[in-house]
Structure 1
Amino acid sequence: MGENASTRGGDGDGTGAGAEGKSDQRDGLAHRLRYLLVLSRPRFWLYLAGPVLVGVAYAAEARADLFAPAAVVLFAYFLLPANVFLYGINDVYDREIDTENPKKEDKEARYRGQGYVPAAVGLCAALPLLFVPVVPAPAWPWIVVFLALGAAYSAPPVRFKTTPLLDSVSNGLYIAPGAAAYAAVAGTQPPALAVVGGWLWAMGMHTFSAIPDIEPDRAAGIRTTATMLGERRTYAYCGACWLASALAFGAIDYRLGAVMVVYPALVAVLAGSSVPVDRAYWWFPAINTVVGTALTMGALWRLVNG
């Protein structure tokens, strides 16, 4: 009896230890998933997924096109996995630089060499291969552009982010999701002026977002368009990109230009105000969401009302 009780007690301890081990594994997995979620910059998810909505809305010729399988798949990919890829590869190769970056203390995740992060980045880069049966051929050049520029921006040997002007130009990758979605739904490439306008917008947006990093980047010896120009001239550069973007969109339809002119107007106001740029920087996800919504609603109005 006593031996059996002891045995049962031993079994009970073993079961408890096993349960605790499984709990630790679950906690470890949950921690990793939470980390990858923060790494993906949820505040910026719509920077990639939003253009998909805009592209689909302008490509659609019937309401059913809005929910075409390719549109749904691309939106899902660019909402989360693409952000894990883009920001994950950035964080891996910026590990040393980010020791000087105050944004990593509260707003973003700090990469500390976790092995699962590069694995997740690689998985998210390969994930589009599963879309081949669903996504039409005209969209694939844009998916390749996104993946190629997303990697080349941060990873050696190219590492565009450390070369002034190329760091800005390469961020046209942010319009690739919208162009891919348009091409997937319409079966043709988007208008050239829309691509030019979107690319210029992305150049300005990227360079503006680099202004809060000027001092950390200089301290780390990193050269960017923003560190080369300095804060005041970077405002002017962003304003010029955004004004040219508004003109390109306005050449397609004056209403598009009227929406996009909010960006050069806003940067002009900020340049003459006392608002710290690192505070204004965090306004732009909301501003971009409002602008993207306006563009999308305009396209949907056209679709519904002809």
Structure 2
Amino acid sequence: MLGRLRYLFTLSRPRFWLYLAGPIVVGVAFGVESQSGLFTPVTIGLFAYFLLPANVFLYGINDVFDADVDTGNPKKETKEAKWRGDPIVAAVVAVATLLGAFTFVATPRLAWPYLAGFFLLGFQYSAPPLRFKTTPFLDSLSNGLYVLPGAAAYATVAGSHPPAAALAGAWLWAMGMHTFSAIPDIEPDREAGIRTTATFLGERRTLGYCLACWLAAAAVFGLVDPRMGAVLVAYPVLVFAIRFAGVDVRRAYWWYPALNTAVGTLLTLGALWRLLYG
């Protein structure tokens, strides 16, 4: 039993839990009109679901359909888990998926398209027939799924859709983040016959693609608020630093959970400052 729990913990990618739950915090902070709206059963419930069960769903589906190709991926030997075909673990992944139905029950219809988009893209990213992760550029584009929980949270508490520029900027950020994370997998993916944006472009041009995505994200966020755009400049700056300092991307990749948490925290603090002090 303890072994299964450890395996599920690893499968859920704890380093990346805030990639889904963090946008909930940001979306709520920017969407509420008063402090009383920050901590409600709905906002706490959304955070709880996207902190753990949603990650079990997303990465469990990924590991199920990548079982054959993960055999040669070194990440699966250390920081991530290989799919074992355990029926109890499969049942837990199924339950985590089904629990997502309660997010629709708890939220207004305005939020449903964002939630539906998350579950659809989250499943079809890894699963056939679409399996976006094996098509260059569609793999990157589909990873806007990470920002959809935040959009749903904003719509839930604000009663309106998030600003289009904020959604577009966040989507561009997610595209860059996904493609950067695929760089360490270039060789294993090529050996397994998987085509991704990173395998198609190669490491140097993939860094250029990430740089373009993150510069565009900073510019588009700047249309919402110049201060937000300035915060997002951290991503292209780090790309330049990695490139010109000769840092191995496989090492730098593991810095990004901390960077993403710091950026999300700054954005949230800015939203809370507006809420508290106008």
Bin for the TM-score computed over the shorter chain: over 0.9
Q: How many residues are matched?
A: 278
Give the equivalent residue in structure 2 for 1:289. Answer: 261
* 2:131 is the counterpart of 1:177: no
2:97 to 120, 125, 132: 125
> Aligned partners of 2:228, 2:206: CA distance in 1, in Å?
25
1:42 to 4, 14, 17: 14
Give the equivalent residue in structure 1 for 2:77. Answer: 105
Give the equivalent residue in structure 2 for 1:206. Answer: 178
* 2:272 is the counterpart of 1:300: yes
Alpha carbon RMSD of aligned pairs, Å?
1.0
Could you tell me how far 1:209 is from its partner in structure 2?
0.1
> Aligned partners of 1:90, 1:129: CA distance in 2, in Å?
20
> Aligned partners of 2:55, 2:14: CA distance in 1, in Å?
8
Give the equivalent residue in structure 1 for 2:139. Answer: 167
> Aligned partners of 2:146, 2:126: CA distance in 1, in Å?
14
* 2:202 is the counterpart of 1:230: yes
> Aligned partners of 1:114, 1:35: CA distance in 2, in Å?
10
Are the counterparts in 2 of residues 207 and 226 from structure 1 also a CA contact under 8 Å? yes
Are the counterparts in 2 of residues 70 and 136 from structure 1 also a CA contact under 8 Å? no
Unaligned stretches of 5+ in structure 1?
A: 1-27
Could you tell me how far 1:291 is from its partner in structure 2?
0.3
> Aligned partners of 2:71, 2:207: CA distance in 1, in Å?
26
> Aligned partners of 1:200, 1:182: CA distance in 2, in Å?
18
SS of the residue 1:110 aligns to: coil
> Aligned partners of 2:83, 2:93: CA distance in 1, in Å?
13
Instruction: State TM-score, norm by structure 2.
Output: 0.98
> Aligned partners of 1:64, 1:54: CA distance in 2, in Å?
16
> Aligned partners of 2:148, 2:108: CA distance in 1, in Å?
15
Moved over 3 A (4+): none
Q: Which aligned pairs between 1:1-306 and structure 2 lie closer than 5 A?
A: 28=1, 30-306=2-278
Instruction: State TM-score, norm by structure 1.
Output: 0.89
Could you tell me how far 1:260 is from its partner in structure 2?
0.4
Are the counterparts in 1 of residues 54 and 100 from structure 2 also a CA contact under 8 Å? no
What percentage of aligned pairs have identical amino acids?
65
> Aligned partners of 1:89, 1:130: CA distance in 2, in Å?
19
Could you tell me how far 1:276 is from its partner in structure 2?
0.7
Bigger radius of gyration, 1 or 2? 1
Q: Output one character per residue of 1:158-185: Cα deviation in whole Å (capped at 9) or x when no partner.
A: 1000000000000000001110110111
Are the counterparts in 2 of residues 86 and 151 from structure 1 also a CA contact under 8 Å? yes
Q: Which amino acid aligns with 2:258?
A: A
Q: Output one character per residue of 1:57-90: Cα deviation in whole Å (capped at 9) or x when no partner.
A: 0001100110122211110000000000000000
Q: Which amino acid aligns with 1:82?
A: A
Could you tell me how far 1:190 is from its partner in structure 2?
0.4
> Aligned partners of 2:120, 2:93: CA distance in 1, in Å?
13
Unaligned stretches of 5+ in structure 2?
A: none
> Aligned partners of 1:73, 1:156: CA distance in 2, in Å?
30
Are the counterparts in 2 of residues 50 and 292 from structure 1 also a CA contact under 8 Å? yes
Q: Output one character per residue of 1:231-263: Cα deviation in whole Å (capped at 9) or x when no partner.
A: 000000000000000000001110000000111
Q: Output one character per residue of 1:98-148: Cα deviation in whole Å (capped at 9) or x when no partner.
A: 111000111011112112233222211211223444222211111111110
Q: Which amino acid aligns with 1:111?
A: W
Q: Output one character per residue of 1:263-292: Cα deviation in whole Å (capped at 9) or x when no partner.
A: 111112212222111100000000000000
